[in-house]
Structure 1
Amino acid sequence: MALDNWTRLRDRSWAMLIALSITALLTASAAMYLVSLLRLRIKQMVLWKVPGPPAVSFFTGNHTQLHHVGAAKFHEYINKTYGGVIRVTGLLWDTQLIVSDPKACTNILIQDQDVFEETDWFIECNLHTFGPGLLGTLGADHRRQRKQLNPVFSLKHMRDMAPLFNKITRQLHDVFQAKVAAGPQEIDMLNWFSRVALEIIAQGGLGYTFNSLDPDAEESEFGRAIKEYFPTLTSLLAFMTIFPLISRWPSWLLRFGAQLVPLPAVRHIIRIVDVMHRYIKEVFDAKKALLEKGDDMFNQQLSEGNDIISVLMKAHNGASKEDRLPDDEIMGHMTALLFAATDSTSTALSRAVQLLAQRPEMQEKLREELIEAYSLAGETDLDYDSLANLPYLEAVCRETLRAFPPVNFVPRVARADTTIPLSRPIQTKEGPVSSLFVPCGTTVTINVIGANRDPSIWGADAAEWKPERWLAPLPESLTEARIPGVYSNTLTFLGGGRACIGFMFSQLEMKVVLSQLIRAFRFSPSKTEIVWNYGGVTTPSAKGSGVLVPQLPMVVERV
């Protein structure tokens, strides 16, 4: 009995010690954080002259207006009212800028990209979620990683990958064919687009299959985790106030603290991260075992392969011991690229098909172009160049990615005091200015949708989805604006050293999937009202179903 009492006392003492240690660490972190905040807020007073919406809360400013699932209307309002440079108030009176001015964006993304880097919370969040891969590094480490991965996403490699994309998409075609054999059926397009996107990047990037397109199998656990990650994270944006305090804690301590939070969304994020890591580790361990075993067939595949894991493992295998890539870095690349390629492309495909369903005459025009192209090709799959030479398909893809980019805003933070130039002077409380001083530590958000829909650049119909705009000469104002994006005069895939490395991969995937499905099936809106939820990546859901249940039901029938 005495021993039991001693054991209980010891356990309580350890629990109390851990609790006191965490409390002390939080208190010290909070004190240091508040001192640094006060210094920054004083420096940021210089930006108060920039026009912007009034803060609606003393503590949260405009944060809840900017960052919640229904924030699209507020963003439309401030873009229309304040233009290319908007001052907003973040948490704890943090003065921030939202920028779509082309010259300012060029400065941020290209000329001063080493000054304007990803925010600490973005890097730390990705580091804890995906590992030290492409989304979780800065500076020289990030440049080295991109150089290693560039061959995977080259134009030559995309041409070589087109047959695989077509092969996988044919499986999706066959699934739909079976589902609508007896007549029109309602199908969750986001579910199946997530599956095909995951399978394409898994086979094309890792030489691995999730069997995502097996019609008799449920969606893979990994696929569900990817689809639910951003909606779940978006539901927690209100708690970002404490993230700067804890973001630099080691992963084990963050996990321990998160498990104590009595919120279903927090626990769901933990499960999502666990699922992604478990699957990636299984794939990596299997490949590494074959490499270490000296399997002749695997070594031949490795030497010939140009997928992500082959490129990384060749770099690992050929380097000296001290220069070899750490296992967690390779797995970080694998997780981040699987996630990014699945989530954003499935969203873009879902939006394109929804828009075509709402405009049957445009859907029919695209179908006619595709039927003719397949007829000229002898009813075989269309290769990369054949797809690139279909003007209306190109127009539909470009216009969807322009008007409805999967990612609407991208935050950067100034790592030093700097000045950003402006294409057009803005009217401030002190008069017109053509450049702005930005204090070190200030968050400057690239307003992707604001630049993509700027009427002074694209014309009065900039907010409309009009594929035909790409079939006529583009306005001179677009050429003069010199938008610094890597894709089609838009900021959809950003520009500079942190531009989306897989933008050609995403374009090819969209074209292959649309070319096969639109040719064979007719898509119509379902009776379910769909809302698009704002967040890191926009996601569709049925109205009233909640952001944590992403879906896009549509009626599908054979042509």
Structure 2
Amino acid sequence: MAVDNWNGLRDYSRTTMVALSTTALLTACGAIYLLSRLKKRIRQMALWKVPGPPAVSFITGELWVRLRRCVLISVSSNDTQMHHVGAGQFHEHIIQTYGRVIRVSGFLWDTQLIISDPKACTSILLKDQDIFEETAWSIECNLHAFGPGLLGTLGAHHRKQRKQINPVFSAKHLRSMVPLFHKITNQLRDVLKAKVARSPQEVDILDWLGRLALELVAQGGLGYTFNSLDPEAKENEYGKAIKEFIPTTSTLVAFRTLFPLISHWPSWLLRFGAKFVPLPMVHNAIRITDIMTRYTKEVFDEKKALLEKGDVEFKQQLSEGKDIISVLMKTNGDALKEDRLPDDEIMGQMSSLILAATDTTSTALSRILDILARHPDVQEKLRQELKDAHARAGENELGYDELVELPYLEAVCRETLRVFPPVHFISRVARADASVPLSQPIETDGGPVSSLFVPRGTAVMINIIGANRDPSIWGADAADWKPERWLAPLPDSVADARIPGIYSNTLTFLGGGRACIGFKFSQLEMKVALSQLVTEFRFSPSKEEIVWRFGGITTPSVKGSTALAP
């Protein structure tokens, strides 16, 4: 009995020692983490004087709101919707109250900046773009989801990929895609005609425009079809996963502060650990990425096999440039060995391009049709311009040159993308200490300041909507939707502001090395769709109240709806 007692005591001692060691390790890690946050807090003292809203909590900042959002998504979508709507109003409030440079509080004393000052944006997006890079959360999330594509690479690696992909979005290639865009849009036109054949009726246009955008980028981007516009077809698993990706990953944003601690773990280890996380959205994110990865590999392997086999039809397709990935495979194969992209990087572009082009385009088109429905005079003026263009073209559909030369169509698109950009904010993080100049001094507790010292590790949000609606740039009516402003010379203040965007003096498609590479592709999609739909149909407002929910991408939904929009 004495021996048994000794063995039991020894086992108990071992268990106790393991528990104590684990507790000590976790305590030490927690202490180190808190000390690092405190050190960062001290380094950010210079930013405390920047004006901004009071913190919700000294400890959590806005994290509590984000965590609450994650819980509500699985419990009550109505509250989630209210959170989105409220967030949009909150951001508009702080822009109007605090101006071009705003300080907000993050997790554990973290200070973050929201910036729309043109000179500061030029520094962040252009001059110091190697310092202000995508956040670790964004890069690692996209890397694990899609592979090493444009959305998951940085610096020289990212620039090398853009160099290979840029020719795909040339005007010459886009010209060749217009007939394909018309063919796909005609499918949607026929579906909608069948729905309203007997009498006008309400149609969920966001759903159908989402299907259209998905099919346009699938066929134009991958040479693949989801059959999205076939009302009788079962929804494609890959297409469904693409639509679910952003709503799902946005529910995980509350944990982005913790993500740097595990961001460098290999994918297999992250997936293994995620199985033990008791949150449905985590398991759903893994399921979605698995589906996208599987389909992407199938499409790529099929194209590669045909190419290596010497398939005549496929080689002809490559030479004619029918879809983005086929052209990329051709240019990549013809490139110098040191410039070629490996297979995993080409596959990484596939889902990245589809994801980036689908929800943004469908949301922008939905916004345009919503506005046209509420402004019938504008809708009629646009319809007349399109009918006149069709009359000049005879029986032919409008080609690339006809579409880009229609002034009112261009004005409607520009004004909508200026006032209502699908994405309101883009995050960057300072990877080194930096000094950011300002166009206009800001008033702080210590007096006017003409530049900001931004410590390493500080998160900066480029305030797209703030720059696009800045009254000192666009005039007192900056927040008003007026397409006619593009039919006359813009105020000198617009050119003088030198906004560093690649599109129409706005930040809608950003600027610099990480600007939207497919913005001309998106514009062309929108113009082809509008040329067909506005000519064929008259759009009226819904009987239901439509609200636009703030999120990664601003999306419309029926007020009180329990469904999360893609």
Q: TM-score, normalised by structure 2?
A: 0.89
**Superimposed CA distance per residue, residues 191-231 of structure 1 (whole angstroms, 9 cap, x where no aligned partner):** 11111111111221222222222232143332222222222
Tell me how far 1:31 sits from its aligned partner.
5.7
**Superimposed CA distance per residue, residues 326-345 of structure 1 (whole angstroms, 9 cap, x where no aligned partner):** 32211110110011111211
**Counterpart of 1:69?**
84
**Counterpart of 2:164?**
148
**Counterpart of 2:445?**
429
**Counterpart of 1:15?**
none
Q: CA, structure 1 residues 219+243, in 2 after alignment: closer, same or farther (shift >3 Å)?
A: same
**Counterpart of 1:108?**
124
**Superimposed CA distance per residue, residues 68-87 of structure 1 (whole angstroms, 9 cap, x where no aligned partner):** 52310111011001111111
Secondary structure at the aligned position of 1:175 is classed as helix
1:406–1:537 contact (8 Å) kept in structure 2 = yes
**Counterpart of 2:106?**
90
Q: Which moved more, 1:267-276 or 1:61-70?
A: 61-70
Distance 2:22 2:202 in 1: 51
**Counterpart of 1:327?**
343
Q: CA, structure 1 residues 152+323, in 2 after alignment: closer, same or farther (shift >3 Å)?
A: closer
**Counterpart of 1:286?**
302
**Counterpart of 2:97?**
81
1:63–1:89 contact (8 Å) kept in structure 2 = no
- Identify which of 223, 235, 241 aligns with 1:225: 241
Secondary structure at the aligned position of 2:112 is classed as strand
Secondary structure at the aligned position of 1:474 is classed as coil
**Matches for 1:185-204 after TM superposition, within 5 Å:** 185-204=201-220
Identity across matched positions, percent: 72
State whether structure 2 residue 384 is matched by structure 1 residue 368.
yes
Tell me how far 1:295 sits from its aligned partner.
1.9
Q: TM-score, normalised by structure 1?
A: 0.90
- Identify which of 251, 273, 292 aligns with 1:276: 292
Unaligned runs of 5+ in 1: 1-18, 551-559
2:168–2:328 contact (8 Å) kept in structure 1 = no
Q: Which moved more, 1:58-67 or 1:510-519?
A: 58-67
Tell me how far 1:474 sits from its aligned partner.
1.3
State whether structure 2 residue 550 is matched by structure 1 residue 496.
no
Q: CA, structure 1 residues 35+392, in 2 after alignment: closer, same or farther (shift >3 Å)?
A: same
State whether structure 2 residue 182 is matched by structure 1 residue 166.
yes
Secondary structure at the aligned position of 1:445 is classed as strand
- Identify which of 389, 410, 413 aligns with 1:397: 413
Tell me how far 1:284 sits from its aligned partner.
0.9
**Superimposed CA distance per residue, residues 499-548 of structure 1 (whole angstroms, 9 cap, x where no aligned partner):** 00001001111111011001101112222222222221112222222462
Whichever residue aligns with residue 411 of structure 1, its letter is: S
State whether structure 2 residue 56 is matched by structure 1 residue 56.
yes
Unaligned runs of 5+ in 2: 1-18, 70-82
Secondary structure at the aligned position of 1:435 is classed as strand
**Superimposed CA distance per residue, residues 388-440 of structure 1 (whole angstroms, 9 cap, x where no aligned partner):** 12111111101110011111000111111110111001001110011111111
Distance 1:244 1:448 in 2: 26
State whether structure 2 residue 193 is matched by structure 1 residue 216.
no
Distance 2:128 2:495 in 1: 22
**Counterpart of 1:484?**
500
2:168–2:324 contact (8 Å) kept in structure 1 = yes
**Superimposed CA distance per residue, residues 168-192 of structure 1 (whole angstroms, 9 cap, x where no aligned partner):** 1111111111111111122221211
**Counterpart of 1:250?**
266
Whichever residue aligns with residue 48 of structure 2, its letter is: W
Aligned length: 532
**Counterpart of 1:387?**
403
Q: CA, structure 1 residues 189+394, in 2 after alignment: closer, same or farther (shift >3 Å)?
A: same
Distance 1:266 1:23 in 2: 26
Secondary structure at the aligned position of 1:524 is classed as coil
Distance 2:261 2:340 in 1: 33
Tell me how far 1:265 sits from its aligned partner.
2.3
Distance 2:365 2:24 in 1: 49
Distance 2:334 2:326 in 1: 12
Q: CA, structure 1 residues 63+104, in 2 after alignment: closer, same or farther (shift >3 Å)?
A: farther
